[in-house]
A and B are shown apart, each in its own frame.
Chain A
């Protein structure tokens, strides 16, 4: 088994699954009917990506684990998603800020991943890129609307940006797993995404009349399984059925 490729694919799968899970919590409770549909659609894209990535991770691992075993039967410390995606939905501004920061990273990420020497990851990237482009457009438009809307929406959007900012640094981290796979032409070097991400964020926050937070301390730990306190609650709901009724077909 290629340990590194397994770990790397699993990270990408966890990012997609956990963000999809969070977005799914909105269903039926969004500010407008259009947003109910829009957020469910974005959730669906992430769940779709997670399925493809978990399936591939299972194949790479070669122990017969399928997408559901990887998603529903691993424990808190085994999840390697970034901290940003697991942050609670909060108000609509927080959900939008989380999506915007993430999609502004994932769009150029998937664009580059299309050139990966790993054919499966490249194929997943080709589909995910189109979805990320839509997610970025949707969330950026809302950042602008809320930032340049009313005084209340401006404050809420600025607060959301400040709240989630410390979780953005982790997106650009490269540990030994990533570095080795970058050298093999399989992984994307996240550090190369920094400039384009920074430009996107700066441009959109500028249009939204919002202030760009200062660089500074970045919270990290997700990639090595050190998550936030609320992460266990997320897993409790997500994994409930597989834990309560082990080994059954659904």
Chain B
């Protein structure tokens, strides 16, 4: 019912006028939350649907590289923690799809966009998890980068998204600490394990920096998103925050960041990092990463293999409804 009521809003937005737009912007400027039934510019809705669904898809595709290690986790405690983490990611996907539904985008439609390749997801999940250390590296770096991106989203102007983010950030922050603790345990245990962790850092460092998106000078959507308070910090600002937080953590583990140009600038108090290989970013985003095809194939297969189950659940629900109606008659 809720979604249906919201669908009516589509017609209203056709007659949007400057006055309403100004009132909307004033609400945003005053830090009021925009709720699903409030009037909003069509561009705002579209931007949010795109961003929220990309985020949801990232959670779902992200279950694959981590799920790859559930059956091989080295201890029962780690297996339980990984299962719980991947389950959390699924839960995040679920809240985010629900937040997108409040904007009139159905889950089926969004899923279709993912499976057809029309919708994007975070490029980081197109990299493979080769060793157990990768599980720690994902927690530490990937969830760490996600937190940097997402903490400001807790104050996003759209109510359902900001509220979903509060819970998600709490869980991500737990995952990040769990990942770091996993790596700390390995680094303390033996040189062989420490080497495995260094190797994971070498492979995940640059893709993690790419998670913040193109550099500010090349970012298309930023200015408007900032004005709408969907975004609060620029890509480069968030990336710098991440580097500043993460480099000392790597040093504490006794690891080397795989960047020869990395140096601490005493004046600014920031870690300066080397040039990101944007051609790699563009290539992986376009579909030519190490696992893009495999990730999509796995998602499509799960969808196709599960079709008969979803059909059966629907058919059963229909039968039940019909029986109930018959009884009532």
Q: Which residues of A line the B interface, CB within 8 A? A: 17, 20-21, 24-25, 27-37, 40-41, 43-44, 47-48, 50-51, 54, 67-68, 71-72, 91-92, 144-146, 148-150, 152-153, 156, 237-238, 240-242, 245, 248-250
B162-203 interface mask toward A, CB cutoff 8 Å, 1 = contact, 0 = none?
Answer: 000000000000000000001001101110110000000000
Question: How long is the Cα–Cα vector from A71 to B71 in the complex, in angstroms?
Answer: 13
Tell me which residues across on chain B come within 8 A of A33, comparing CB atoms: 60, 90, 93-94, 97
Given A29-B302, A33-B93, A150-B312: A48 and B80 within 8 A (CB)?
yes
Establish whether residues B86 and A28, one from each chain, have CB atoms under 8 Å apart when the complex forms. Answer: yes
Establish whether residues B76 and A50, one from each chain, have CB atoms under 8 Å apart when the complex forms. Answer: yes
Question: How long is the Cα–Cα vector from A245 to B186 in the complex, in angstroms?
Answer: 12
Given A27-B86, A44-B83, A237-B72: A149 and B313 within 8 A (CB)?
yes
B132 within 8 A of A: yes
B window 285-329: CB within 8 A of A: 298, 301-302, 305-313, 315-316, 319
Interface class of chain B by DSSP: helix
Q: Which residue of A lies closest to B189 (CB)?
A: A249
Q: Which residue of B lies closest to A241 (CB)?
A: B74
Q: Which residue of A lies closest to B80 (CB)?
A: A47
> Could you count the A-B residue pairs with CB atoms below 8 Å apart for me: how many are there?
141
Q: Given contacts A30-B302, A68-B76, A148-B319, list 7 more A-B pairs with CB under 8 A.
A: A24-B70, A30-B306, A72-B74, A149-B313, A240-B72, A245-B192, A250-B132
Question: How long is the Cα–Cα vector from A91 to B76 in the complex, in angstroms?
Answer: 26
CB distance from A223 to the nearest CB of B (A): 22
Question: How long is the Cα–Cα vector from A31 to B111 in the complex, in angstroms?
Answer: 13
CB distance from A152 to the nearest CB of B (A): 5
CB distance from A107 to the nearest CB of B (A): 22
Establish whether residues A238 and B75, one from each chain, have CB atoms under 8 Å apart when the complex forms. Answer: no
Given A24-B79, A40-B86, A250-B186: A31 and B67 within 8 A (CB)?
no
Establish whether residues B87 and A31, one from each chain, have CB atoms under 8 Å apart when the complex forms. Answer: no
B146 within 8 A of A: no
Given A148-B319, A156-B308: A250 and B60 within 8 A (CB)?
no
Tell me which residues across on chain A come within 8 A of B97, comparing CB atoms: 33
Establish whether residues B71 and A24, one from each chain, have CB atoms under 8 Å apart when the complex forms. Answer: yes
Tell me which residues across on chain B come within 8 A of A50, comparing CB atoms: 76
Tell me which residues across on chain A come within 8 A of B185, comparing CB atoms: 249-250
Establish whether residues A149 and B302, one from each chain, have CB atoms under 8 Å apart when the complex forms. Answer: no
Q: Which residue of A lies closest to B302 (CB)?
A: A29
- The contact sample of 12 A-B pairs, CB cut-off 8 A, is A27-B83, A29-B67, A30-B306, A31-B307, A36-B87, A40-B87, A47-B80, A51-B80, A150-B315, A237-B71, A241-B72, A249-B186
Establish whether residues B71 and A25, one from each chain, have CB atoms under 8 Å apart when the complex forms. Answer: yes
Which one of A149, A240, A242, A249 lies within 8 Å of B316 (CB-CB)? A149
Tell me which residues across on chain A come within 8 A of B84, comparing CB atoms: 40, 44
Establish whether residues B70 and A152, one from each chain, have CB atoms under 8 Å apart when the complex forms. Answer: no
Establish whether residues B309 and A146, one from each chain, have CB atoms under 8 Å apart when the complex forms. Answer: yes
Tell me which residues across on chain A come within 8 A of B310, comparing CB atoms: 31-32
Which one of B72, B77, B93, B311 lies within 8 Å of A150 (CB-CB)? B311
Establish whether residues B83 and A241, one from each chain, have CB atoms under 8 Å apart when the complex forms. Answer: no
Question: How long is the Cα–Cα vector from A67 to B75 in the complex, in angstroms?
Answer: 8
- Nearest 6 pairs of A and B residues by beta carbon: A31-B306, A149-B312, A153-B312, A241-B74, A31-B309, A250-B74
Establish whether residues A67 and B76, one from each chain, have CB atoms under 8 Å apart when the complex forms. Answer: yes
Question: How long is the Cα–Cα vector from A85 to B309 in the complex, in angstroms?
Answer: 22
Tell me which residues across on chain B come within 8 A of A20, comparing CB atoms: 79
B241 within 8 A of A: no
Question: How long is the Cα–Cα vector from A126 to B75 in the complex, in angstroms?
Answer: 25
Question: How long is the Cα–Cα vector from A35 to B242 in the complex, in angstroms?
Answer: 34
Tell me which residues across on chain A come within 8 A of B312, comparing CB atoms: 145-146, 149-150, 152-153
Question: How long is the Cα–Cα vector from A242 to B73 in the complex, in angstroms?
Answer: 9
B window 125-160: CB within 8 A of A: 132
Tell me which residues across on chain A come within 8 A of B93, comparing CB atoms: 33
